Structure 1
Amino acid sequence: MLLTMARVISRRMLVVIPILLAVSMLLFLVLRLLPVDPAAMSLPPTATNDEIEAMREAMGLNLPIPHQYAIWLRDTLSGEFGTSIQYRQPVGELIAKTLPATIELAVVAAIIATVVGIGGGLVIFRMRGTVGEAAGDVGSLLMLSLPDFLWGLILIFVFGVFWPVLPFIGRLDPGMVQPGGTGFLLIDALAAGQVRVFWSALVHMLIPATALGISFAPIVMRVLRSSLLDVYQEGYIAQARMRGVSEERILVSHALKNAILPTLTLMGVQFGFLFGGTLLIEVICSYPGVGNLMVGSVRNADLPVIQMVGLTYCAVTLLINTLVDALCVALNPKATA
């Protein structure tokens, strides 16, 4: 299985690398065409025209755009991502500080979406032909019709304001210190044996992660139910019934393992949208992730940060899709890599 996954990943990388290169070109071109002068923004407001021009030359902004891109690509491949205009810090350090928070949020949201989506899909399928199925359809459509940021606002109002049982700002309670390590707060807190920090981080994550998960779960429900309906038309389901196998065992042991593959593929593709959806949720909940960094950088026209964050979103999405493709091929020998 691991060998199959490694083979698929190596093939996918031949496609991923050109995509990342094309995205980096597009981002670089669009940002350079904006009516923003990074050189002037890097200097105090009292800077003279000569000082601004000298800064432009130092930053290479006086060169043709293809030449600028070649310099940027060379520096990026060597691990030099530039310096933030707003924060006066290396861009790589800023992303390294904020990206784990966003990945952690997206993973928790994906777990919530998986539990709700697969559980809800099984319940709705089990109630097929009844009033419960119609109610489940209406409920999934309602969940799907509201965007994640609106779910975030609703959850904040209900559980943060009207019935204040959950925090909705930041990652930790005031006064708590984030333990060092990987940057993934839940992992670092457990590794350090700080149960209170772990619990605080988990509770702070519930509202933004649930908002993302609720908007993602209905798609999983509907695809899983559709896949189960197709699987139940297969002959081996009828044969299992003839052998006296219970409906619960047929559903879980026979049908689900075949219907889960299309659902898994969809979840991998949709995870990219879920990861991108963290941007607005992070702003609403003041969650210090890479999405919040992106919004602050856009407000201040911090071009080096905008470019690297955009490229990071693309890279993470492509990586997740590649891993899911490899897993699906490994689980289904009939699939083609």
Structure 2
Amino acid sequence: MNPIVSLLGRKLGVMVITALFLSMVVFIVLRMIPSDPLGMMLPPSATQADADLLRKALGMDGSVSHQYMVWLGHAVHGDLGRSIFFREPVSELLGVALPATLELVLVSLVMALLISIPGGIVLYLLDRKRGEVAADFFLVFLLSVPSFLWGIILILLLGVLFPVLPFMGRLDSSITAPHGTGFLLIDLLLSGQWSAWFDAFAHLLLPAFALALAFSPIIIRVLRSSLIDTATSQYVNVARLRGVPEWRVLLLHMLKNAALPTLTLIGVQFGFLFGGTLLIEVIFSFPGIGNLMVQAIKNYDLPLIQGVALVFCLMVLFVNFCVDGLYAVLNPRLRVS
């Protein structure tokens, strides 16, 4: 069997087992919280018989293991229950909020790469040279500022003092979002609404930039370290002896191999990037899955908390699976092992 296919098969099996284990942990932990979610669903005049009837209808009348098996059976078929607070199916709420968060995360990831790749190269070129101390200090400063603080700073600078970009919501209230994939940039592009597309993109810039500023410093450091390690490799020395210009050695030879550890880091750190959207979405009133999670926790909406937590777990596992697959394809040692 192809070693890459075998590796991905094992990774997929681990991903499924991990998802099941995490869903079980979340389910059990939420049941240990000393609060009754049925209290929000019943009117003040409800009797104990009404509560027992509703508990049975929701599958909450048995043991925790029985409740989990009932929930898992429905979840496999796409039924994650009904939100207690919003009075809507959880899957429909997630279907609206998840594309917004994914769009935000993808734009912020592109921004982070646009910052990190040149930043890593510049930091490598400054190694043991004048300006290295100042660059290291600036990088440590970036690492010390969390994403939500960047969000507040960007709102004050570019939204209040110099109002050049919008910082509330996902789209201007005067624009009607078209129905489609849920990804506004794609839906507006397909419908030909160019002014609305630029408005949606402008609404993404500040929250995505806040996430990118917090995410890019660690990528810069890893890329710089990888370039320093790669600089002494045999193939690099051979390329230099053959008279290949230094910029070609750096961009065409060193950068490609130094990108592999960076790619692995992006997969590992994606969970922090995805989780960082929670506070960012609250600060920017962005209608994504992070904002939905805050509403669910505030109102102790048990089915919605479970659904959002499951989606967070699945997204992180899926991205790590994709990164492992891409790493296997790009790494020649794995292809021939």
TM over 0.5: yes
- Residue 5 of structure 1 contacts residue 327 of structure 1 at CA under 8 Å; is this kept in 2? no
2:174 corresponds to: 175
Partners of 1:217 and 1:59 lie apart in 2 by 44
CA distance in 2, matches of 1:218, 1:80: 40
- DSSP 3-state at the match of 1:11: helix
- Greater shift in the superposed pair: 298-307 or 54-63: 54-63
User: Where does structure 2 lack aligned partners over 5 or more consecutive residues?
Assistant: none
**Aligned partners of 2:4 and 2:108: how far apart in 1?**
25
1:185-244 Cα deviation digits (max 9, x unpaired): 101111111111111111001111000000010011100000000001112222222222
Q: Name the SS for the 2:113 alignment partner.
A: helix
The answer on whether the counterparts of 2:126 and 2:132 sit within 8 Å (CA) in structure 1 is yes
**What residue in structure 1 maps to residue 198 of structure 2?**
199
Q: Distance in 2 between matches of 1:190 and 1:149?
A: 30
* Partner AA of 1:94 in structure 2: L
Q: Which runs of 5+ in 1 are unaligned?
A: none
Query: Is structure 2 residue 142 aligned with structure 1 residue 143?
Result: yes
CA RMSD of aligned residues (A): 1.5
CA distance in 1, matches of 2:203, 2:139: 26
CA deviations over 1:254-290 (Å, ceiling 9, x no partner): 1111111101111111112101110110001000001
Q: Residue 53 of structure 1: CA displacement?
A: 2.5
Deviation at 1:40, TM superposition (A): 2.0
Q: Secondary structure at the match of 1:335?
A: helix
Bigger drift between 286-295 and 54-63 goes to: 54-63
How far residue 78 of structure 1 moved from its aligned partner, in angstroms, is 1.9
Deviations 1:120-155 (A, max 9, x none): 011111222222222221111111101111111111
Distance 2:177 2:161 in 1: 29
2:72 aligned partner: 73
Distance 2:267 2:84 in 1: 35
**Aligned residue number for residue 293 of structure 1:** 292
Opposite residue 235 of structure 1, the aligned amino acid is Q
Alpha-carbon distance between aligned partners in 2 of 1:137 and 1:270, rounded to the nearest angstrom:
21
Provide TM-score, normalisation by structure 2.
0.96
Native 8 Å contact 2:105 2:273 kept in 1: yes
1:129 aligned residue: 128
- Residues 94 and 308 of structure 2 are in contact (CA less than 8 Å); yes or no, is this contact kept in structure 1? yes
Give me the identity figure in percent.
Answer: 49
The one-letter amino acid paired with 2:262 is: T
Could you report, residue by residue, the CA deviation over 1:266-316 in whole angstroms, capped at 9, with x for unpaired residues? 111111210111011000100000100000000000000000100100000
Decide whether aligned partners of structure 1 residues 8 and 186 sit closer, same or farther in structure 2, where only a CA change above 3 A counts.
Answer: farther
2:232 alignment partner AA: Q
Mapped partners of 1:6, 1:42: distance in 2: 49
Q: Which residue of 1 aligns with 2:29?
A: 30
Q: Give the conservation status (yes or no) of the 8 Å contact 1:85–1:302.
A: yes
Contact kept, 8 Å, 1:186 with 1:201, in 2: the verdict is: yes
Q: Secondary structure at the match of 1:173?
A: coil
> Which residue does the alignment assign to 2:281?
282
Contact 1:124 1:132 in 2 (8 A): no
What residue in structure 2 maps to residue 317 of structure 1?
316
Shift of 1:45: 2.9
How do 1:250-289 residues align onto structure 2 when only pairs under 5 Å count? Answer: 250-289=249-288
- Aligned residue identity for 1:118: I
How far did residue 7 of structure 1 move?
4.7
> 1:129 is aligned with what amino acid?
R
Q: Check the 8 A contact 1:4/1:326 in 2, yes or no.
A: no
